[in-house]
Amino acid sequence: MDEFDSALQPIASGELDVNVYQSIHDTLTRARTKVYATVNSVIVEAYWDIGR
């Protein structure tokens, strides 16, 4: 059995569910982190402009 044959083996439903949910969780966590950083930068810029 080579690497391609092993890639075609069925995955247990529970394992697939965990992988899918973990992938979604990781994607949302990265997106949330980017949003926090962007909003923080915009707030700092706004306060900087107000303080001029």
Residue with tokens 């949302």: 28
pLDDT (tens digit, 9 = 90+) per residue, 30-40?
Answer: 999 999 999 99
Angle at 42 between CA 30 and CA 52, to 5 degrees: 160
The two tokens of residue 9 are: 């083996």
pLDDT (tens digit, 9 = 90+) per residue, 3-32?
Answer: 556 656 666 666 777 888 999 999 999 999
Give the residue ranges of DSSP H helices in the chain.
Answer: 3-7, 13-50
pLDDT for the residue numbered 35: 97
